[in-house]
Amino acid sequence: MRRSAAEIALSLGVVALGAGAAAVSATLPAEGGYAGIGPNAVPALVSAALILLGGWLAWEAFSGGWRNAPPDDAAARGEHPFDPRAFAWVTAGLVVHMAAVGAAGFVLAGAALFACVARGFGSRRPARDAALGVVLCVALYLFFVRLLNVGLPAGWLAPLLGVAGT
Amino acid sequence: MEAFAALASGFAVALKPANLFWGFVGVTLGTLVGVLPGVGPALTVAMLLPLTAKLDPTGALIMFAGIYYGAMFGGSTSTILLNTPGESASIATALEGNRMAKAGRAGPALATAAIGSFVAGTLATVALTLLAPLVVELALKFGPAEYFALMVFAFVTVSAVLGRSTVRGLASLFVGLLLGLVGIDSQTGQARFAFGVPELLDGVDVVVLAVGLFAVGEALYVAAYQSRLPASLERLRGRVTMTREDWRRSWPAWLRATAIGFPFGTIPAGGAEIPTFLSYTVEKRLAKRPEEFGRGAIEGVAGPEAANNAAATGVLVPLLTLGIPTSATAAVLLGAFQNYGLQPGPMLFQSQAELVWGVIASLYVGNAILLVLNLPLVGLWVRVLAIPRPQLYAAILVFATLGAYSLHQSWVDLAMLYVFGLLGFAMRRWDIPVGPAVIGLILGPLAETQFRRALAISQGDPTVFLAQPISAALLALTALAVLGPWAVRRLRRR
């Protein structure tokens, strides 16, 4: 019988999410005026539903696997096996961007993101990718800040980009 | 005719030079982003939503009408040339469209898609113009109980009835509903699930959820499972025109598909997936040479593309008249309205008639812009498709983070974006639908409000939902929609 660890983990994750939400709901006030239900009522309902649905998913996972699920074998889906390095490069790009955008600014953080993601997708020319990223981000920066008045951080490049940023 | 007088005033708004300009910008950007492989209309609208933060509401919403249609046409271009449907509604187009492109007939395939979208979109907008005032009149009689029942019905049909698994659809919906509860309760001011984080007091923004699930999740998925696969882009040879024969075969398909697509769009049936396949099947049945299907029959592109656009317009009926989004794209559009403090629904037709009819008029204008812009410019869009995958996905993620960051200028939104990206990755891998989560996030708080209002009116008596005939009927229909297929299966097994 098919039994997938990932499906079991996801099912229990839904149960845990519901249980956590139920614990938070219990701390919310219950007085509700005329309606008789307070701000805690709908959270409690949603939490209960998540626990039930997680249980249902777990039951499916333990009794032959989720119904109509995609095949576990990547080749049967027409794909290659999970590539941890590609996944890690995309993640690294997003994390670096998250950490850097405030201080280094939109253009430099965006260029780093661009280079990391391109690397994850198999590009082998990081310097060229970073340069492309700078060009794209400068264009976006000018378009957003000058034309659409959306504020973006100029960061370390503030002297070059002018004072239009925030 | 009252509707036409209102529409005329709407055209006066939509044809103002500034608004016309935003319409053009919207169609161009919508097509440009929508043409990117793997980027569907919901993601296009979500990524471009922050662009309009500083525009006046009318201009911004007119721009969104353009983005909505542009995204759809861009999606069909990449589907035909690259065979990567950005959304389930494009799968039917991919069947014949990509075969036509492989046979060197990409030009006629793109032409019938563009002209068919225009014809279907325009006819469907006429239907919307006539239908909307009637629905508004009906909706004005709805009380909170009826609204709540209608929303429950929409929740259940989009998550449980469609798709391959009822329980996975419902799990997605309830995760969305839970995310919708984050932030300040609109009725008591109580903070819920915010954990003292100021960014969370505003609630989870639909842009962050949609872009995280669709863009970041998709990028992680493609990187992990598809980045080493070769990509095959069909070349566009010759001009984007149709022969007399192509016209003769296309126009009946467009008209039939409009008649199929629009009604499906107006009911909560999960958007355009069912009508596109229905139109494909109908065209295959009626074709004089059904043997051509599977090898590039033009009817098989003309029908589903027209059905897709007609359904996409039909989706705007419940969105504008009732404030109920029935597809992920509509949910993001509703988020765009809410950014301006506007709540679509019957009241908006009265309090902001000029804006609503301006948006409806701009649907006609947007369709026309799409046609004049895309037939000549299709060569340019094709060049966008030729960007190698590493740089393409890098650019998509730069766009995605830009949208999320510009909301509060805070890294917290970027952290949420990544968490939703991981969630989107898992949902894609284990076939959990994403749409119900987005709809749950945006519609959940509205449903809660109506629920509590209805109970306040009835002094806490929960039978109020069964006492009103309309709400009782809707709840019965909901139960039937969930339990009906299950009961039929049980009976058959005996």
Any idea which residue has 């353009």 for tokens? Answer: B66
Whole-number pLDDT of residue B354: 86
Nearest-by-Cβ selection for B414 from A98, A140, A148: A98
Task: Report yes or no: A127 at the B interface, CB cutoff 8 Å.
Answer: no
Would you call B225 and A74 a contact, using CB atoms and an 8 Å cutoff? yes
- Count of A–B CB contacts within 8 Å? 223
Alpha carbon separation from B227 to A117, A118, B5, B33 (Å, rounded) = 11, 10, 54, 20
Using a CB-CB cut-off of 8 Å, the residues of chain A touching B165 are 66-69
- Determine the 3-state secondary structure of A32 from DSSP: coil
**CB nearest A46 (choices: B178, B223, B225):** B178
Residues 63-82 of A with CB under 8 A from B: 66-70, 74, 77-82
Do residues A104 and A132 lie in contact, with contact meaning Cβ atoms separated by under 8 Å? no
Mean predicted lDDT score pLDDT of chain A? 90
Residue B191's domain comprises 2-493
Render pLDDT for B115-160 as a digit per residue (tens, 0 to 9): 999 999 999 999 999 999 999 999 988 999 999 999 999 998 888 7
Question: pLDDT by residue (tens digit) across B156-206?
Answer: 888 877 677 889 999 999 999 999 999 999 888 899 999 989 889 989 999
Q: Is residue A116 predicted with pLDDT exceeding 90?
A: yes
Q: Please tell me the distance from the alpha carbon of residue B361 to that of residue B356, in angstroms, as a whole number.
A: 9
pLDDT at A164: 47
Q: Closest residue of B to A15, CA-based?
A: B171
When divided into structural domains, chain B yields a total of 1
Please tell me if residue A104 touches chain B, with a CB cutoff of 8 Å.
no
CA dist B20 and A16 (Å) reads 50
Given B398, B405, B430, which is nearest A7 (Cβ)? B430
Two tokens, residue B12 = 């006066």
Assess contact for A65 and A4: CB atoms under 8 A: yes
Instruction: List chain A residues with CB under 8 Å of B178.
Output: 17, 21, 43, 46-47, 50
Contact assignment for B459 to A86 by CB distance below 8 Å = no
Output B157 or A11, whichever has higher pLDDT: A11
pLDDT in tens, A47-96: 999 999 999 999 999 998 898 888 888 888 888 999 999 999 999 999 99
**Facing A53 at nearest CB: one of B171, B185, B222:** B171
Q: B437 or A150, which is more confident? A: B437
CB contact under 8 A, A136 and B405: no
Task: Determine the residue of chain B that is closest to A56 in CA distance.
Answer: B167
Name every chain B residue with its beta carbon within 8 A of the beta carbon of A69: 165, 430-431
Count of other CB atoms within 10 angstroms of residue B361: 25
The pLDDT > 70 percentage for chain B reads 97
Question: A141: nearest CA in chain B?
Answer: B402
Within 8 A of A5 by CB-CB distance, chain B residues are none
CA distance, residue A150 to nearest chain B CA (Å) = 7
- Does A147 touch chain B if contact means CB atoms closer than 8 Å? no
**What residue of A is the nearest CA neighbor of B426?**
A10
What's the whole-number mean pLDDT along residues B357-364? 91
Quick: pLDDT tens for B441-450.
999 999 999 9
Q: Is residue B237 very low, low, confident or very high in pLDDT (cuts 50, 70, 90)?
A: low
pLDDT band at B270 (very low <50, low <70, confident <90, very high): low
Mutate to test the interface with B, among A11, A67, A90 (most CBs of B within 10 A): A90
The nearest CA of chain A is from the CA of B314 a distance in Å of 30
Contacts of A80 in chain B (CB under 8 A): 225-226, 228-229
Q: Which of B51, B190, B426 lies nearest to residue A28, judging by beta carbons?
A: B190
- A contact test, residue of B387, B402, B422, B486 with most A CBs within 10 A: B402
pLDDT in tens, B393-413: 999 999 999 989 988 889 999
Which amino acid, residue B90? S
Q: A165 pLDDT exceeds 50?
A: no
